[in-house]
Structure 1
Amino acid sequence: MTTDELARRLRDDYARAGKGDKVVAIHLFGIRNADALEGHSAHEIAERAGIGRSFGTEIRKGMRLAEYVQVK
C-alpha cells in the first residue's frame, strides 16, 4: 500500500470519528494497518492526511498496540 493510500484511509477514519474520539481513531488506524504501515513514515502519513505531522506519534502507538490487542 502506498503512503497516499494510507493517508487517505487515515483521513477517512479521522473524519468519521466523533467529537472526542479523534485520537482513538488514529490509534485504531495504527492497529488495523500495522503491517501495511511498516516501512512508511507515520509522521508523513499524518501530514498527508491533513491532521498534523505530530499525530504520527499516535499512529506509532497504535502500531505497537497491534501486537497485544484485537479490534472488536
Structure 2
Amino acid sequence: MTVNELGGILKQMYNSAPHGYQVANIHLFGIKYASIIHRNNYKVSDIINISGLNRSYATEVSKGIKLSKYVVPKELA
C-alpha cells in the first residue's frame, strides 16, 4: 500500500465518521494501518499532507499507532 493510498483512506475515514467521532476514526486509522506505516517507514506527516487534513491531526494518528500494540479493532457485523 502506498503513502498516497493511506492518505486517501485517512481522508475517507475522517469524512465518513459520525459527527463527534472524527478524531476517534483518526485513532482507528493509526491502529489499523500501523504495521503498514512501520513496515514501509512512512512518515505520518506525509500521510496527513496527502489526506488534506489539518497538520495537528498527525499527533492523533501517532496515538493510534502507539495504541496498536495494545488493541485490536472490533469488526462490525
Same fold (TM over 0.5): yes
State the TM-score, normalizing by the size of structure 1.
Answer: 0.93
What letter is aligned with 2:10? Answer: L
The 5 A counterparts of 1:1-72 are 1-38=1-38, 39-72=41-74
Q: 2-side partners of 1:53 and 1:41: how far apart?
A: 12
Q: Following TM superposition, by how much is the alpha carbon of 1:48 offset from its aligned partner in structure 2, in angstroms?
A: 1.1
Q: What is the aligned length?
A: 72
Q: Percent identity?
A: 39
| Alpha-carbon contact 1:44-1:53 (below 8 Å) kept | no
Separation of aligned partners in 1, 2:55 and 2:45: 5
The CA RMSD over aligned residues, in Å, is 0.8
Alpha-carbon offset, residue 37 of structure 1? 1.1
CA distance in structure 2 between the aligned counterparts of 1:26 and 1:44, rounded to whole angstroms: 15
Structure 2 residue ranges without an equivalent (≥5): none
TM, length-normalised to structure 2: 0.87
Runs of 4+ in 1 over 2 A off after TM superposition: none
Q: Flag the structure with larger Rg.
A: 2
8 Å Cα contact 1:44/1:56 also seen in 2: no
